[in-house]
Amino acid sequence: MTSSPATDAAASLIAELVAHGVRDIVLSPGSRSQALALAAVHAASDGALRVHVRIDERVAGFTALGIARESGVPAAVVCTSGTAVANLLPATMEAFHSGVPLLLLTADRPPELRGVGANQATLQERFFDRWVREQIDAPVPGEGEWTGLAARAVGAAMGTTDAAAGLPGVAGPVHLNLPSREPLSGRSPGIAIVPGDAPGPAAVEPHVLERGPRTVVVAGADAGPLAEEIAHEGGWPLIAEIVSGARFGRQIVHGYRALLRRDELGGRIERVVVLGHPTLSREVAGLLSRDGVEVIAVRHGGEELNLNGRTRAVGAVSVEAGPSDREWLGAWLAASATEVVDLTERAPDPEALASTDFSARREAVKAELDAVRRPLDRELLVDAVWRATWPHDRLVFGSSRLVRVADAVLGGKKVPVHANRGLAGIDGTIGTAMGVAIASQAGGAPGITRLLLGDLAFLHDVGAMLLPPDETEPRVQIIVGNDGGGTIFDALEVAASAPPADLDRAFYTPHTVILEHLALAYGWEYLKVTTRAGLDQALTSPRGGRQIIEVPLAR
């Protein structure tokens, strides 16, 4: 068997991607993409690449998104032509709004088969145009070269080239539409695979923050530890969402929603420095919308944050030298101390437990048993997951009611956190967490990835639980708070206006799915826990690689 132009071009492209730092390709089987798939598998056999196979392109897209989120390096997703391409749109939109480097390699029919009713052919060459850093419609192999496309795509995805849609330093998705003519398979051309490194973030001149105005630092999703560093250097209060990865350090503000409503604190703010994408509270959104507040936002995703119509977007920030406003910070920290939520159980009473007074001993024993048997609510659930997670672990939040509860009650802790808050959708949550687990545990790294989400978000992405038997199982715990429907709508206007039956059917969407049966079908270990003690034990003593922990919650 000889090689073909399609196999030669595919092998060359995969080799170049590896040479420019790509280490993970997620592919879904398909006819038109066969040359790309075989070239990727060949590279993986040499150890230069990790290939992950998913039968659902939507799942594949979010798996690649999770890998890129965790690694900071572009991950590629390969699919065939037709509706397969459309299934990548949700992950592409999230990558655009979250600033995640993602490469979309979509196989296509040659130009003469477009728009003429050919099988499995559609108008896909500019399908993602509004959500990508760059769109490349490659030539047909034999009529033009794919050489150089990998460098161009990786540079655009990392925001290091002029092609990055005018957003230097901002990562995002890039689309390579790759048409080929038959024959689509052939002998591998045997191109040498030499791994290289992806380019680092583009150097951006920082905006220097003066110390004068009364300032708070707001850390939204994906802000990371940099937000804590800026707050520490400036001596400013840090309002860190639970999904920010910045909720730690001496500057964090507990109960920030209530404090922002206070005139003596929130009402006196003159400047806000924003890192990441804040989405979890109306109080922060209101602050960023005020006319009298200067807002400086470090550009992160594909859209500028500009809720007040005059927010200044910058590529980076630094803090000028000088003394900090200790009175301003002190007022916030004093108020913050009164807002700390303590969810710890009372310590045992050893004197009462050892008392010779039967009544006192009985009450002490009863108190201990009550603590052990205490049913789980949402606050105890998020607290248990938070306490069980450490810096070598990863915590992923779904866009469910639980993430808002966590944001309201959890304290400071330096743990890596992920969440798809670019568009705050529930789709692709399990796939994203699986990608995070794959990337964080590559090379035998320790730790476990925990995903905390509601039952509807879980059911929305249940196909992501399917793994090929020949792939290494990542260590993943999916903790499902199951209240039998979408109770997040309780907090929205519709709950006060819609008739109860309509609200139940159209918004809560109650279900009777038996999660244990799903776990069995997909080969996951399953546990149902109803007490804090049981949950603590389940979280800290995982018995398998993949585990679903169901926690029934009151409606």
Q: pLDDT tens, 135-155?
A: 999 999 989 889 999 999 999
434 compared with 45, residue with greater pLDDT: 434
List the helix and strand counts (H, then E) for the chain: 20, 19
Is 128 in contact with 103 (CB distance < 8 Å)?
no
CA 524 – CA 466 distance, rounded (Å)? 9
CA 115 – CA 124 distance, rounded (Å)? 11
**pLDDT higher than threshold 70 for residue 362:** no
Residues 165 and 227 in one domain: no
What residues make up the domain containing 536? 375-552
* Residue 493: band (very low, low, confident or very high) from pLDDT cuts 50, 70, 90: confident
Residues 20 and 75 in one domain: yes
Is 50 in contact with 23 (CB distance < 8 Å)?
yes
- The average confidence (pLDDT) of the chain is 91
CATH number, domain at 55?
Answer: 3.40.50.970
* Residue 305: band (very low, low, confident or very high) from pLDDT cuts 50, 70, 90: very high
**pLDDT higher than threshold 60 for residue 164:** no
Residue 361 lies in a domain: no
pLDDT at 364: 58
Residues 121 and 228 in one domain: no
61-65, 345-349, 512-516: least confident range: 345-349
Residues 269 and 330 in one domain: yes
**pLDDT higher than threshold 90 for residue 217:** yes
pLDDT at 526: 96
Tokens 């009544």 map to which residue? 359
Triad 146, 149, 32: Cα angle to 5°: 55
The secondary structure element, H or E, covering residue 402 is helix 401-409
Residues 154 and 241 in one domain: no
pLDDT at 555: 79
180-189, 227-236, 388-397, 434-443: least confident range: 180-189
**pLDDT higher than threshold 90 for residue 454:** yes
Residue 389 lies in a domain: yes
Residues 382 and 332 in one domain: no
* Residue 441: band (very low, low, confident or very high) from pLDDT cuts 50, 70, 90: very high
Residues 243 and 155 in one domain: no
Residue 514 lies in a domain: yes
Secondary structure of 261-310 in the HEC alphabet? CCCCCHHHCCEEEEECECCCCHHHHHHHCCCCCEEEEECCCCCCCCCCCC
CA 167 – CA 468 distance, rounded (Å)? 38
pLDDT at 185: 83
Residue 365 lies in a domain: no
Residue 145 lies in a domain: yes
111 Cβ contact partners less than 8 Å away, ≥ 6 residues apart: 140, 179
* Residue 506: band (very low, low, confident or very high) from pLDDT cuts 50, 70, 90: confident
Residues 382 and 496 in one domain: yes
CA 124 – CA 114 distance, rounded (Å)? 9
In 3-state terms, what secondary structure has residue 401? helix
In the chain, the number of structural domains is 3
526 compared with 348, residue with greater pLDDT: 526
**pLDDT higher than threshold 70 for residue 110:** yes
pTM: 0.94
**β partners of residue 313:** 297
CA 494 – CA 509 distance, rounded (Å)? 14
CA-closest candidate to residue 401, choices 342, 324, 468, 458: 458
Triad 419, 423, 425: Cα angle to 5°: 70
Is 134 in contact with 152 (CB distance < 8 Å)?
yes
Residues 69 and 119 in one domain: yes
Residue 83 lies in a domain: yes
Residues 405 and 308 in one domain: no
Mind listing the pLDDT tens digit for each residue in 237-256?
999 999 999 999 999 999 99
Residue 366 lies in a domain: no
CA 281 to chain centre: 18
CATH number, domain at 250?
Answer: 3.40.50.1220
Residue 255 lies in a domain: yes
